[in-house]
């Protein structure tokens, strides 16, 4: 017997008929007409090569054949098991899982979230779960999320792919960073002084010398000189410590360099630094990814 959709429905009807031993009551219970159920019984008799149910001598209802009686309990158990499988909520057991999660992020997002996430997972006993952090190509990101090459991406709000599910993780201020013994001292800069300093910029597009700060300064009637452009946040502290350059960076990034970098408030209002988790809608209810998003949310508040 081929277990296609039609025959599965036939087995469900057979179970009801074997329980009721009455075509009229079984049809009412199934919500179909008596002739339609009688037609199904005829098909079932052909499938099993047995009448399954025969009219009772009393004229009331039907009695099971030996084959019908033999099928009744195994059929009930099989259909109940199938129903349980369909209704049982899918769960993710992190303690027993050896799943590998791939997280797309730049070096700053990886440094902010990676250590906290690893510490949380290992501290909770999830020793077999593996994490793969990989860089992001924003042009390919939607396809990578759709195919599952990347499970979750950690990116700024401005970089979120259109119509992708997402959740906010971090939102905080930008600050100007310099080396502690910078010749200008440790006072907060005026906007004129800020514009007169030489800056490093972290350029996601590789080699760019302009960012959103330059648009803000332009609206305020100022321009700045960006002398160095890098792709990686991790290079900036080394460059700042060795030069008189400054850089505008997220406060949480700067908190990783106490004593080696001096953070100072900006002399103008700037948009806040944001970090979002995003994934493809086809994995929205994946229990493992739901669990991972929960862990990221907790790590973002630590």
- Which of 87, 102, 124 represents a domain boundary (last residue)? 87
Same domain, yes or no: 284 and 254: no
Per the structure, the count of domains in the chain is: 3
Q: How far apart are CA 260 and CA 276, in angstroms?
A: 28
Residue 140 · residue 110 · CB < 8 Å: no
Same domain, yes or no: 58 and 192: no
Residue 164 · residue 278 · CB < 8 Å: yes
Query: What is the CATH classification number for the domain harbouring 187?
Result: 3.40.190.10
Q: What is the pLDDT of residues 68-87, one digit of tens each?
A: 999 999 998 888 888 767 76
Same domain, yes or no: 267 and 193: yes
Residue 84 · residue 94 · CB < 8 Å: no
Same domain, yes or no: 32 and 50: yes
pLDDT at 105: 95
In 36-52, which positions are buried (b, 16+ CB within 10 angstroms) versus exposed (e)? ebeebbeebeeeeeeeb
Same domain, yes or no: 148 and 286: yes
Query: What is the CATH classification number for the domain harbouring 50?
Result: 1.10.10.10
Same domain, yes or no: 165 and 281: yes
- Which of 87, 120, 146 represents a domain boundary (last residue)? 87
- Which of 87, 112, 145 represents a domain boundary (last residue)? 87
Q: pLDDT band for position 294 (50/70/90)?
A: very high
Same domain, yes or no: 281 and 249: no
Residue 265 · residue 172 · CB < 8 Å: no
Q: What is the pLDDT of residues 161-216, one digit of tens each?
A: 998 999 999 999 999 999 999 999 999 999 999 999 999 999 876 678 999 999 99
Same domain, yes or no: 106 and 72: no
Q: Which residue segment(s) compose the domain that 99 sits in?
A: 94-171+275-301
Q: Which of 22, 27, 11 has the alpha carbon at shortest distance from 63?
A: 22
Same domain, yes or no: 203 and 80: no
Same domain, yes or no: 104 and 72: no
Half-sphere exposure of 162 (CA within 13 A, CB side): 1
Q: What is the pLDDT of residues 93-118, one digit of tens each?
A: 999 999 999 999 999 999 999 999 99
Same domain, yes or no: 266 and 296: no
Same domain, yes or no: 20 and 61: yes
């Amino acid at each position: 017997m081929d277990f296609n959709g039609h025959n599965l429905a036939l087995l469900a009807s057979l179970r009801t008929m074997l329980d009721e031993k009455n075509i009229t009551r079984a049809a009412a219970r199934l919500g179909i007409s008596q002739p339609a159920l009688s037609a199904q019984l005829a098909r079932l008799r052909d499938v099993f090569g047995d009448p399954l149910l025969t009219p009772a001598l009393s004229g009331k209802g039907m009695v099971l054949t030996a084959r019908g009686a033999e099928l009744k309990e195994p059929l009930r158990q099989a259909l109940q098991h199938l129903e349980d499988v369909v209704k049982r909520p899918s769960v993710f057991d992190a303690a027993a899982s050896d799943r590998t999660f791939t997280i797309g992020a730049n070096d700053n997002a990886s440094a902010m979230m990676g250590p906290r996430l690893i510490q949380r997972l290992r501290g909770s006993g999830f020793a077999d779960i593996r994490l793969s952090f990989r860089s992001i190509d924003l042009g390919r990101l939607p396809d990578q999320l759709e195919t599952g090459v990347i499970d979750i991406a950690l990116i700024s709000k401005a970089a979120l792919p259109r119509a992708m599910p997402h959740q906010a993780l971090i939102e905080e201020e930008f600050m100007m960073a310099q080396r502690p013994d910078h010749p200008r001292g440790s006072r907060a800069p005026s906007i004129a002084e800020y514009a007169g300093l030489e800056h490093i910029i972290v350029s996601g597009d590789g080699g760019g010398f302009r960012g959103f700060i330059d648009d803000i300064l332009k609206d305020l009637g100022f321009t700045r000189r960006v002398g160095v452009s890098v792709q990686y946040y991790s290079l900036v502290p080394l460059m700042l410590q060795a030069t008189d350059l400054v850089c505008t960076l997220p406060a949480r990034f700067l908190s990783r360099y106490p004593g080696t970098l001096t953070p100072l408030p900006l002399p103008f209002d700037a948009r806040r630094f944001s970090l979002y988790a995003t994934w493809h809608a086809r994995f929205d209810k994946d229990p493992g990814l739901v669990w991972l998003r929960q862990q990221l949310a907790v790590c973002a508040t630590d």
